[in-house]
Amino acid sequence: MSTFQFSGTKEGKKISGNVEAVNKEEAVATLSRQNVHVLNIKAGSGAGLLSKLPIGKGKVKLKDLVVFTRQLSTMISAGVPLTRSLATMQSQSDNKYFAGIIASISKDVEGGMALADSFAKHPDVFSDVYVNMVRAGESGGILDEILKRLASQVEKDATIRKKIKSAMAYPVAILSITVVAFFGIMIFVIPKLGKIIKDMGGEDAKLPVYTEVMLGLSTFMQKNAILIAIVLFVSVTLFKRYVKTPKGKYKLHSTVLRIPVVKDILIKVAVARFSRTFASLMSAGVGVLDALEVTGGAIGNLVIEKELKEAAEQIKAGKQLSEPLSKSPYFPAIVSQMLAIGEETGQIDTILLKVADFYEEEVDAVIDGISSLIEPVMILVLGAMVGVIAASVMGPIASLSTQAGKE
């Protein structure tokens, strides 16, 4: 992360200081969340605590964040002062990068900054949901309880991510092997078999259409292997850059929500994440509109986030949240119905937590079902590819061998 120097106003007072962020846009966003109106911001010269610590670039794993959150909750509930708790966890952390961040947070807190505001300076570690729940916990004097809920939420989120990654790992590996095998066979094996066919039948030998196509494709790939590699590399690079833009990311998120099986999984994951995050924020005392804004950013899909922003506008107009969600194609009817019951009984957080549990179980069931189908499907695809190539080349060889034997 980089250090940025800023000047601005907060609650009518002029302030200035340093903020750590990945880039200038993120620094402005971080300050905005702290209700700071930025007047001027520029890259710093490396001043500040982080520049003095051997942090460098690193990563904080979800496991590290869960341990940190649970330990901080335990120490605060035991009456240990916040600064001492942070100092203890800094010394115990095996992750040097995270230890440096904890040291920065500790210094901020010692200087009088709220814990949530200090967390907000490190958006690559502490999400908006995390920061807002901590802020609510500080305001309500229930920081230890909020941190316990946060630890559970981070763990559940990590579990879902791990299951999805595990389910995708095998098909991605098989698909990669299939692509490499296809290019290897077409560039190195088929040309040699083609030469054998021509030697046996002569240059004028009449071959099946599919064999001619296979040999022609093989010849093209062999002669243009470098060009194909360059085109693939450039295409992948451009695609990655495009999907990082707001327009590209929205288009990607919109496209994946149209893929039958993928759509079902993503919607279930989004609903589970929405329900648990929104319920946690509401139970922490965060307002409906603020909770909705934070939850939208936490879902991870711009299309569904847009739906929640539109729902927020309708809430401002006097409607209940259950009304706009009932018309959304991305929220099943059970969600709006349960939410309506929660609005009537004043137990939105309790009911949405049950909805989250239900959809997390649904995600587990879908992933387990897909995982059991992926292996035979991928083997079938790989076998079909090898079969087509073998039939295209070995068939003519066998036919020519039979003809040569008769002659």
Tell me the three state secondary structure of residue 301: coil
Does 406 score more than 70 pLDDT? no
pLDDT at 227: 93
Reference 48, options 115, 118, 96; nearest CA is 118
- State how many domains the chain has: 2
State what percent of residues in the chain have pLDDT above 70: 90
Alpha-carbon distances, residue 222 vs 104, 215, 225 (angstroms):
56, 10, 5
Residue 363 lies in a domain: yes
pLDDT at 375: 73
Same domain as 162, residue 46 = no
CB 52 within 8 A of CB 102: no
Q: State the average pLDDT over residues 109-114.
A: 88
Residue 205 lies in a domain: yes
Residue 33 lies in a domain: yes
Residue 211 CB: number of other CB atoms within 10 A?
20
Could you identify the residue written with the tokens 């750590």? Answer: 20
Does 342 score more than 60 pLDDT? yes
Residue 274 lies in a domain: yes
pLDDT at 39: 73
Radius of gyration of the chain (CA): 29
Residue 113 lies in a domain: no
CB 281 within 8 A of CB 297: no
Does 313 score more than 60 pLDDT? yes
What does the chain come to in residues? 407
Residue 45 lies in a domain: yes
Residue 108 CB: number of other CB atoms within 10 A?
18
pLDDT at 321: 92
pLDDT digits (tens, 9 = 90+) for 100-111: 999 999 998 988
Question: Which is higher by pLDDT, 88 or 58?
Answer: 88
With 0-12 / 13-18 / 19 or more C-beta atoms within 10 angstroms meaning exposed / middle / buried, residue 191 is middle
pLDDT at 374: 76
Residue 141 CB: number of other CB atoms within 10 A?
8
pLDDT at 85: 92
For residue 18, give the CATH number of its domain.
Answer: 3.10.20
CB 107 within 8 A of CB 18: no
Which range of 10-24, 80-94, 175-189 scores highest in mean pLDDT? It is: 80-94
Q: State the average pLDDT over residues 37-42.
A: 77
Same domain as 167, residue 38 = no
For residue 193, give the CATH number of its domain.
Answer: 1.20.81.30
d(CA 113, CA 134): 13
pLDDT at 50: 40
pLDDT at 54: 42
Q: What is the mean pLDDT of the chain?
A: 82
pLDDT at 407: 55
Domain boundary among the residues 14, 33, 52 is at 52
pLDDT at 201: 66
Does 205 score more than 80 pLDDT? no
pLDDT digits (tens, 9 = 90+) for 156-169: 877 877 877 777 78
Domain boundary among the residues 52, 75, 94 is at 52
CB 150 within 8 A of CB 294: no
pLDDT band per the 50, 70, 90 thresholds, residue 16: confident
pLDDT at 115: 92
Reference 339, options 379, 302, 291; nearest CA is 291
pLDDT digits (tens, 9 = 90+) for 230-275: 999 999 999 999 988 989 999 999 999 998 888 888 899 889 889 9
pLDDT at 49: 40
Same domain as 268, residue 397 = yes
Residue 111 lies in a domain: no
pLDDT band per the 50, 70, 90 thresholds, residue 185: confident
Same domain as 323, residue 174 = yes
Does 356 score more than 50 pLDDT? yes
Same domain as 38, residue 162 = no
Does 56 score more than 70 pLDDT? no
Could you list the residue range(s) of the whole structural domain that residue 1 is in? Answer: 1-52
pLDDT at 204: 66
Residue 297 lies in a domain: yes
Cβ contacts of 344 within 8 Å, gap of 6 or more: none
